[in-house]
């Protein structure tokens, strides 16, 4: 285990060093905006809007969505408390709480990842529109995670763990619905 942690620390240092070469006022403003759009309050508003949309148009997805977002948030909080990893020193913005896993990355992966899943299943959207929306959401998930590393409030491994945690919740819930024949209607 120490070997793995040592490798992760080395990778984190290399990535942080690479990002430090690109720090400019414009990039800092851009990534600060991206990171604030991934804040809990902002994601909560978007999640409520999306839950309302699911309630009105695709109720078969609503329980899965609530489980994925709620489960991701709860398990992220437990892991933060369990690992109690401090945040990197020298961040460009102020953050509190523990670093591992990244809450922004977890929630971006869970929330926007589930929207991607939904878009792939809903057939009332033309393929080219679906493709553009999926691309935008995938880039957004990436940008939220990158913003956390660029701003120095997370190590790269915090962000990767957050993405993994969010995607695992999607996979587990969707697969368990499929196994129980709880069809997520198209």
> Any idea where the domains of the chain sit in the sequence?
2-179
| Cis peptide upstream of residue 101 (ω within 30 degrees of 0) | yes
Enumerate helices (H) and strands (E) in the chain, giving the number of each.
Answer: 7, 0
pTM for this entry: 0.84
Q: Which residues lie below 8 Å from residue 151, measured CB to CB, with a gap of 6+?
A: 28, 31, 32, 35, 91, 92, 93
pLDDT tens digits, the chain, 186 residues: what are they?
677 767 777 777 777 777 777 888 988 999 999 998 888 889 889 999 989 988 888 778 888 888 899 999 999 999 999 888 888 888 778 888 888 899 999 999 999 999 898 888 777 778 888 889 999 999 999 999 999 999 989 988 899 999 999 999 999 988 876 665 444 544
Nearest to 152, CA basis, from 92, 86, 105, 80: 92
């Amino acid at each position: 285990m120490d070997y793995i942690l040592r490798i992760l620390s080395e990778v984190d240092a290399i990535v942080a060093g690479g990002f430090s070469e690109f720090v400019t006022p414009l990039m800092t403003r851009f990534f600060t905006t991206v990171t604030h759009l991934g804040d809990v309050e902002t994601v909560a508003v978007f999640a409520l809007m999306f839950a309302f949309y699911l309630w009105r148009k695709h109720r078969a997805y609503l329980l899965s969505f609530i489980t994925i977002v709620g489960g991701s948030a709860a398990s992220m909080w437990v892991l933060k408390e369990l690992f109690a990893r401090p945040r990197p020193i020298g961040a460009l913005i102020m953050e509190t709480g523990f670093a591992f896993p990244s809450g922004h990355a977890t929630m971006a992966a869970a929330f926007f990842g589930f929207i991607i899943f939904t878009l792939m299943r809903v057939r009332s959207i033309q393929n080219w529109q679906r493709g553009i929306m999926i691309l935008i959401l995938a880039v957004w998930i990436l940008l939220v995670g990158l913003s956390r590393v660029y701003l120095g409030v997370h190590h790269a491994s915090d962000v990767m763990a957050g993405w993994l945690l969010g995607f695992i919740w999607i996979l587990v819930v969707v697969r368990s619905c499929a196994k129980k024949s709880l069809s997520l209607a198209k």
